Amino acid sequence: MSQSVRWAFNWKEWSPNEKEFSHAISCVQLEEKERLDRFVFRKDVRASLIGRLLMRKFVNEYTHIPYDKIVFTRDKNNKPILKNSAINISFNVSHQGYYSVLAGEVRDVLLGVDIMKLEYTGGKQLSEFFRIMNRNFSSSEWEEIRGSTTCMEVEQISMFCRHWALKESFVKALGIGIVTDLRTIDFKTNSKLVPNRLVCDTVLYQKGNKQNWLFEESLLDSEHCVAVALQENGIAPKSQNKMFELLDYNKLLVNAIPMHSEDEQYVKKYFSKNEKP
C-alpha cells in the first residue's frame, strides 16, 4: 500500500526566539534563505519557511536521501521539485491564514494542495466582491456559493473559500497555475465540511464531462479548510483516509541538519521586521 502524508503547522502560534529561528533558517538551501529574506513581514517569512521545512522533512523521512543532501529546484511553473531524482514521490505545499500544509504521496501521482482561511477581508460589500469574481466560477458553482435566499454571509464566504481551494488544488496538481478559464473547472460538492471528517465525494466536471480525480477535503479548524487533488495514471485513486496531522516545532525539525552556518545578521534583520502590515 502506498503511503500518504498530510502535515499542517500553525506558524501563527510559532514565535521563535533567536536561537530557534537561526537554527530553522540554517536548515534550508541558501537560495531559499535568500528568497525568504525578500519578504517584508515576519509572518510571511515564517509561513514560507515552514513550507520549505515540511518539504525537507517529507523527502528525508520517505526516501534514502540524507537531510543535508536534499536539493530542490523549480520547474517551469515555479513549482518546487526534487533535483535530479528518479525517486517516485509526489508533494505539494500551501500556506494561507495561520497554517502551512504539505500533502505527500510515496508514489508518482498528480498532486496539489490548497488551504484557505474562511474569511472575507476585501472591504467591499460581499455582493460587489462576488460580482467582480463572477468569471472565476461556473453558474452552478455560484448557486452553491450563494445558497438559498436565507443563506447567511458567513456561509457564503465559507463556500466561496471551499470552491477556491478546490480550484487551486486542481490547477496546482496540473502544474499550470491560475491561468486557465476557471469557469470550465466546475465543482459539485455533495457533503458539508465538518470537524474531524474527510470528505471525498466532491466531483469535478469540465465541459459537462465528469473527470477522474479524487478530492480530499477537510477542516483544520473552524476557520481553515484544505483541499487535496489527486490523480494517478489518469484515474482517481482510492483515498488513504489520511487526516492532516498538526506538527510542532520539535517534530518538524527532529532530524534536521543545517545546510550552512548560522547567520547572526540575517536573524537580526528578521527580528527587525514588522510582524504584519
Residues 223 and 244 in one domain: no
Q: Which of 132, 98, 108 is nearest to 14 (CA)?
A: 98
Residues 218 and 243 in one domain: no
CATH code of residue 2:
3.90.470.20
Q: Do the strands 4-10 and 245-247 form a parallel or antiparallel pair, or are they unpaired? A: parallel
Specify the number of domains making up the chain. Answer: 2
Q: Which of 138, 131, 134, 146 is nearest to 166 (CA)?
A: 138
pLDDT of residue 177: 61
pLDDT in tens, the chain (277 residues): 569 999 999 999 999 999 999 999 999 999 999 999 999 999 999 999 999 999 999 999 999 899 999 999 988 878 888 987 778 899 999 999 999 999 999 999 999 999 999 999 888 899 999 999 999 999 999 999 999 777 899 999 999 999 999 999 999 999 876 556 777 889 999 999 999 999 999 999 998 899 999 999 999 999 999 999 999 999 999 999 999 999 999 999 999 999 999 999 999 999 999 999 9
Residues 144 and 191 in one domain: yes
Residues 251 and 230 in one domain: no
pLDDT of residue 178: 58
Question: What predicted TM-score, i.e. pTM, was given to this entire model?
Answer: 0.95
Residues 159 and 221 in one domain: yes
Q: Report the C-alpha gap between 187 and 3 in whole angstroms.
A: 27
Residues 115 and 47 in one domain: no
Cβ proximity of 95 and 221 under 8 Å = no
Sheet of strand 90-96, all strands in order from the earlier edge strand to the far edge: 90-96, 99-105, 4-10, 245-247
Domain boundaries, position 201: 110-236
